[in-house]
């Protein structure tokens, strides 16, 4: 799951939400809407995982997922999914090119135009959060190497 992976790597995500104020109908309408878009999709690459990604988002961000308007949290999550999925620029022939706008429109049950707008609005913030997490991981690795060296010297 993407949210769990981001969290494990130390990426600061928006706070989880509760379903307070939502009705069963709101949630079922969102699920139905997702399946209509999902079944229309011809993209076989994303179809294998789209349901689990959607359900993870619905579980952790029910209000934002069910909201007709795109919340700040959803905009940031869309941008994080997009930029985190992109291959390393140094990689010559990546196995996967990352999520497309179409992929994200299925996962988040939004239009491609809305996905595009969210990515543009939150690009800087998402890239900063991903870079911070990458630097923390790198610092931990360096600290671990140093600790191993010190232990060997004893």
Mean pLDDT computed over every residue of the chain: 92
**pLDDT tens digits along 100-113:** 999 999 999 999 99
Q: What is the pLDDT of residue 87?
A: 87
- Is residue 70 within 8 A of residue 109, CB to CB? The reply is no
Distance between the two ends of the chain, CA-based, in angstroms? Answer: 41
Is it the case that residue 33 has pLDDT exceeding 90? yes
Q: What's the token pair of residue 61?
A: 């961000």
Domain count, the chain: 1
Q: pLDDT over 90 for what percent of the chain?
A: 72
- C-alpha to C-alpha distance for 121 and 95, rounded to whole angstroms: 28
Is it the case that residue 44 has pLDDT exceeding 90? no
Q: Which domain covers residue 13, as residue numbers? A: 2-153
Q: How many CA atoms lie within 13 A of 32 on its CB side?
A: 6
Who wins on pLDDT, 14 or 89?
14
């Amino acid at each position: 799951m993407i949210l769990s992976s981001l969290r494990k790597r130390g990426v600061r995500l928006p706070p989880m939400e509760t379903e307070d104020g939502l009705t069963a109908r709101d949630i079922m309408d969102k699920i139905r809407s997702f399946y209509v878009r999902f079944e229309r999709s011809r993209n076989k690459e994303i179809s294998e995982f789209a349901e689990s990604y959607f359900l993870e988002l619905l579980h952790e961000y029910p209000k934002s997922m069910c909201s007709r308007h795109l919340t700040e949290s959803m905009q940031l999550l869309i941008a994080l999914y997009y930029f985190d999925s992109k291959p390393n620029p140094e990689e010559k022939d990546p196995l996967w090119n990352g999520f497309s706008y179409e992929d994200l429109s299925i996962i988040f049950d939004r239009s491609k135009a809305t996905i595009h707008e969210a990515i543009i609005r939150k690009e800087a913030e998402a890239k900063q959060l991903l870079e911070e997490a990458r630097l923390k991981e790198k610092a931990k690795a360096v600290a671990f190497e140093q600790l191993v060296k010190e232990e060997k010297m004893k």
